[in-house]
Chain A
C-alpha cells in the first residue's frame, strides 16, 4: 500500500491510498460508459398490452472522460529536507436519452409510431429566430466599409 502526502511539504498529514480502488473506480466508470454501445441500451423491455406488444425506442448519447496524474518534488539540499509526492485523478460523464419511437407489434403486423418532441422543436425555432434577429440587427447597425478608388 502506498502512502500519499499532500502537495504542501510542511504538512504532516498523510493519507493511505489504495491504487486498486482507483483502478476499480475507473474500470467501473468505463464499463458503464461502454454499456451504452449495445442494442439493449436503445430498446426498452417489451410491454404486452392485450394482443399487442410495445417496445419503446430511445436515442442515447454518452460522454465520459477521466484523467490521472502524479508527481513528486523535494525542497532543500540535505538528506533530511522536505520531500513530497502526490497523485490524483478525476473524471466525469453524462448520459443523455431521448425517446424516438414506439414499436407496436400486433397480429396485423409491425408498425413504428414516431415520438415528436414538440418542446424541443419549439425551443429550437425560438433559438433560431433569436439568432437570426440578433444577427440581422447587428448587421444593420454596422456601417458598410468605404472603398476609396
Chain B
C-alpha cells in the first residue's frame, strides 16, 4: 500500500462523545508518491461528520466546500468559453 503511486483513502477519526451522541470526523486523502524523484503530493480534505446516537441511529452530515465548487465552475466556464471562441473563429474562417 505504501509503495503505490496513487492512494485514495477515506479516514475516520476517533469518536468525540457529547452527552448521548458520538461524533466521528471523516476525511479523504489523495496521495501521490513519486519514488524516482523522492517526493510526493498529499491532498487531505474534510468529507463528512458521522453522528451516532445511543439508539444506534447514524446520520452522515456532508461537509460542502462552496469555494472549491466556485473555482471548479469558473474553470469549467473558462474552458467552455475558450472552446466557443475557437469554434466561432473557425466558422468565421470558413464563411
Interface residues of A (CB under 8 A from B): 33-34, 36-43, 46, 53, 55, 57-68, 91, 93, 98, 100-101, 103, 105, 107, 109-112, 114-117, 120-121, 124-125, 128, 131-132, 135-136, 139, 144-145, 147
Contact = CB atoms under 8 A, between A and B. Distances in A.
A101 B51 contact: no
Nearest to B14: A39
B42 A34 contact: yes
Interface of B: 11-13, 16, 18-19, 21, 23, 25-27, 29, 31, 34, 37-46, 49, 51, 59, 61-68, 70-71, 74-75, 77-78, 81-82, 85-86, 89, 92-94
Contact of A37 (B29, B37, B59): B29
A42 B45 contact: yes
B77 A128 contact: yes
A131 B78 contact: yes
A120 to B, nearest CB: 6
Given A112-B64, A116-B66, A46 B38 contact: no
Contacts of A68: 38
B34 A65 contact: yes
B42 to A, nearest CB: 5
10 tightest A-B contacts by CB? A65-B39, A39-B13, A144-B93, A57-B46, A42-B27, A117-B67, A59-B45, A62-B42, A60-B44, A121-B70
Contacts of B77: 128
Contact of B42 (A33, A101, A111, A125): A33
B25 A55 contact: yes
Given A57-B63, A114-B64, A114-B65, A41 B46 contact: no
Contacts of A132: 78, 81-82, 85
A33 B39 CA distance: 9
